[in-house]
Structure 1
Amino acid sequence: MTSLSNQVQPPRSARIDALRGIAVFGILLVNVWSFIWGFESLRYGVLPATASIFDVLAIAFTAFFAEQKFYPIFAFLFGAGFVMVTRSLKEKLGRWSDAERLYRRRLKWLLACGVVHGTAIWFGDILTVYAIAGFFILAGLTGARLRKVRSNLRVWIIIFFALLLGNFLLGMQMISPSALQEQAINTVAAVEAGRVVYTEGNLLSIGIQRIGDYLTVTMQSLFILPHIAVLFLLGAMSVRLGWLTQAARHKKFWRRVQWTGFAIGIPFNLAWATMVVVEAIDPLHPSIYSFLLYAWLPVGGSCLAAAYVATVLLAKESLGGWLDNWLAPVGKMALTHYLMQSLLCSILIQGFGFGLGARWTPAGWLAIAFAIMLLQLFLSRWWLAQHAQGPIEILWRRYINKGFGAAEPTKRDPL
């Protein structure tokens, strides 16, 4: 078997790594809240009567700018990475079957990593669902040919919108003022119970709660598989057509994406953020409009996410250079940073650690997220000055390359 390290590696794209770094940071803005409130639908919990304007703004900012904006970017890049990686592996190994077999090892490692992360650190793990989605999609993309990508994309778009519309219509039939009121009472009680465990409990009680929540969240997350599949395949197609890898040649396309995404995404997400703040202030009197907006949030959020991607790819030289210089290192260590964020949030926020979730307010919790980002900005540059990859990425590579005769990766390794 040919050694993967014996051939010249193509350079990584700093801009794609920067996008991945932005996605990792954006995901943290949303995830930090669940370390306090658990997995219930009232993501931002209940604002106390003593809440400051900064607490209100912290919730509004997260709902408008981040919620369901950055995991779509990550899924999009996951699909793009699939094509770039398998294409590179095929050139090194000589056969698509070997390239896909090696990629399946990546997915198995990602799945195992997700299970450990979800059960031992944070219940809201997304790696498990990404890995499952990857296995489903890989089965229909032999060779990652553009024709197959397009045909699979059409199928998953139909499934995604059928599921979205079906869930919306079913929910509309079940909604009534009395049902909304009863659901709100039960949700507030569950959210408060979760908050007490996570912010005041010991390691054992938090661990028991986390495992139960992980199983529930993972089962529920399977319903977003069609959404992830659509984003995954869009990423794959963006590489095959050069939209992502040759963005400078497709400026007209990305400008259309940018303005369309902002035109749809800004008003929708302003309405969503307003509704989220109202719900946090008065959770016992939910509005039917909250349900309507939440039902279409995967679309509204993805529109703004697409505008973010287009804006980064169209960035002028000065801003683009700054993004590449500071955020590309974060993207190169995306998996390490994702897991580190969960570990740090658990230690800082939850009851077995410093317990800041019980003592600080929403503005303080968001400040924790920004502090972690700042730490990771500098940590990435320091670590990559001495190593080719992040520590978790190095372990990942060693497992993946087992049996393929591969040596240590170089700094130019695209995987």
Structure 2
Amino acid sequence: MSIAPPAPVHGATPVARRALAPDLARGLMLLLIALAHAHMYLSGHEAGFRGYALDGGPLDRLVAGTQILLVDGRALPMFAALFGYGLVQLANRQLATGGSWPQVRKVLRRRSLWLLAFGFCHALLLFFGDILGAYGLVGLVLAGFVRREDKVVLRAAVVGLVLHVVVLLGFGLLTVSAPKGDTPAAMADPVQATVMRLIGWATMTPTYFAAGVVLAFLFGIWAARRRLLEDPASHRDLLSRVAVLGTGLAVAGAVPLTLIDTSVWTPSDMVAVPAYALHSVTGIAGGLAYAAVIGLATGRMRRDRPGPVVRALAACGQWSLTCYLLQSVIFVAVFAPYAGGLGTRVGDAAASGIAVVTWLATVVLAALLAPGGRRGPAEAALRRLTYSRR
């Protein structure tokens, strides 16, 4: 019996038809990404687990404590969950237009492979702490879970949780009070810095994959099947519980490391390393809680008439890949010893101030250029590479 070939798989969703909540979440979380990354370009100080200077002034310690409590380790799982959520949306759209599952899986893996390549280039040129490679890697390995049953996804999430804890405990032992001067950001020779960035990326990508991405990615798949962010009004009770419980767990789990990394408390390594792991594990709950809060907020908005601030933030979310890469361009220009050189002259508080200004600049840029359906340069390139035909 002959079977007609499936309909061709169509391209990405037009910008005007995108759901508001995921884009708004991405736009807001880019602020947390900027805050979490800016201080990683500083050097010359003894640093704690999260890279903040242990000898900073009162304002530096206040900023570091606030970010460890509310920012660090929360934005990465948030984006990982949104990545899983987006892959389900992409797969559903392709299947609805007549594509077969093998075709769709090929599209998902091609997109993930190119995202991994983007991450490599990002590390090669700009930042050793790239997170794109981790997302690309998880997409390549776990794309099949988009079609697996819920019980299989949840079992895999349990395995991911165990792997998360084990890897973080090992990683924590290797990074106890690592000096900032050892990072590629401190190297004045751009060639040496490039080599060290690639070495760091090759190490950090599988670490992020094992410790920070898998669990949240699988939760994102589970949430997308229920359209939690596309139809938040129908899931208000669930989102409210996630928001309250997740925030509580994240804050409580971050308190020990906050005290340690601000030099308020100096326990033994046998206590400090588990505190580091606890901070990261509960950060997954925090990332999911932030997404739930944004979903609840968008559920109260008029989808057809969002205000100018919401439109600007959503535009930044639509340009999230471009804006993320622009952050690194600006940070290198400002902080790197072979560029602006501020990395050895400012503290954590000043770095966070620069991060906020950088994020605001990308929001304004996206708001000015995104209307009319224009995609960001990085998004357009990824789309062409994903949907191109031989």
Q: Are 2:376 and 1:365 aligned?
A: no
CA 1:93–1:8 in 2, change beyond 3 Å: closer, same or farther?
farther
Selected match of 1:106 from 111, 116, 119: 111
Match in the other structure for 1:267: 252
Distance in structure 2 (CA, Å) of the matches to 1:106 and 1:65: 31
Match in the other structure for 2:54: 47
Selected match of 1:343 from 322, 325, 329: 329
CA 1:149–1:127 in 2, change beyond 3 Å: closer, same or farther?
farther
Q: Note if contact 1:93-1:99 (Cα within 8 Å) is conserved in structure 2.
A: no
Q: Which amino acid aligns with 1:110?
A: L
Q: Which amino acid aligns with 2:349?
A: A
Q: Which amino acid aligns with 1:210?
A: R
Selected match of 1:97 from 87, 91, 102: 102
Distance in structure 2 (CA, Å) of the matches to 1:45 and 1:371: 20
Q: Are 2:287 and 1:312 aligned?
A: no
1:369-402 C-alpha deviation (Å, 9 max, x unpaired): 0010110111011111355210111111112221
CA 1:10–1:336 in 2, change beyond 3 Å: closer, same or farther?
closer
Which region of structure 1 is more displaced relative to structure 2, 55-64 or 321-330? 321-330
CA 1:29–1:6 in 2, change beyond 3 Å: closer, same or farther?
closer
1:75-130 C-alpha deviation (Å, 9 max, x unpaired): 11111101111111122343222222222221121111111111221111111111
Q: Which amino acid aligns with 2:256?
A: A
Q: Are 2:200 and 1:218 aligned?
A: no
Cα RMSD for the two superposed structures: 3.1
Q: Note if contact 2:180-2:186 (Cα within 8 Å) is conserved in structure 1.
A: no
1:286-322 C-alpha deviation (Å, 9 max, x unpaired): 5543222112223211222222222211127469945
Distance in structure 1 (CA, Å) of the matches to 2:12 and 2:288: 38
**Mind listing any 5+ residue stretches in structure 1 that lack a counterpart?**
405-415
CA 1:220–1:98 in 2, change beyond 3 Å: closer, same or farther?
closer
Deviation at 1:230, TM superposition (A): 2.4
Q: Are 2:362 and 1:376 aligned?
A: yes
1:253-290 C-alpha deviation (Å, 9 max, x unpaired): 111112212332222223332222117x97xx755432
CA 1:402–1:6 in 2, change beyond 3 Å: closer, same or farther?
closer
CA 1:337–1:364 in 2, change beyond 3 Å: closer, same or farther?
same
Distance in structure 1 (CA, Å) of the matches to 2:13 and 2:64: 49
1:1-150 matched pairs, under 5 angstroms: 2=8, 4=10, 11-37=17-43, 42-48=49-55, 51-141=56-146, 144=147, 148-150=148-150
Q: Which amino acid aligns with 1:20?
A: R
Selected match of 2:233 from 215, 224, 248: 248
Selected match of 2:272 from 266, 283, 290: 290
Q: Which amino acid aligns with 1:221?
A: Y
**Mind listing any 5+ residue stretches in structure 2 that lack a counterpart?**
1-6
Distance in structure 1 (CA, Å) of the matches to 2:254 and 2:128: 26
Which region of structure 1 is more displaced relative to structure 2, 210-219 or 51-60? 210-219
> What is the DSSP-based 3-state SS (H/G/I as helix, E as strand, rest coil) of the residue aligned with 1:44?
coil
CA 1:41–1:272 in 2, change beyond 3 Å: closer, same or farther?
closer
Q: TM-score, normalised by structure 2?
A: 0.86
CA 1:328–1:341 in 2, change beyond 3 Å: closer, same or farther?
same
Deviation at 1:149, TM superposition (A): 4.0
Q: Note if contact 1:44-1:59 (Cα within 8 Å) is conserved in structure 2.
A: no
Match in the other structure for 1:303: 285
Q: Note if contact 2:49-2:276 (Cα within 8 Å) is conserved in structure 1.
A: no
Q: Which amino acid aligns with 2:22?
A: I
Q: Note if contact 2:42-2:180 (Cα within 8 Å) is conserved in structure 1.
A: no
Distance in structure 2 (CA, Å) of the matches to 1:297 and 1:70: 13
Deviation at 1:192, TM superposition (A): 4.5
Structure showing greater radius of gyration is: 1
Match in the other structure for 2:4: none
CA 1:34–1:163 in 2, change beyond 3 Å: closer, same or farther?
same
Q: Are 2:165 and 1:159 aligned?
A: no
Distance in structure 1 (CA, Å) of the matches to 2:205 and 2:13: 40
Deviation at 1:29, TM superposition (A): 1.1
Q: Note if contact 1:113-1:127 (Cα within 8 Å) is conserved in structure 2.
A: yes
CA 1:105–1:164 in 2, change beyond 3 Å: closer, same or farther?
closer
Distance in structure 2 (CA, Å) of the matches to 1:255 and 1:222: 29
> What is the DSSP-based 3-state SS (H/G/I as helix, E as strand, rest coil) of the residue aligned with 2:297?
coil
Q: Which amino acid aligns with 2:228?
A: W
> What is the DSSP-based 3-state SS (H/G/I as helix, E as strand, rest coil) of the residue aligned with 2:18?
coil
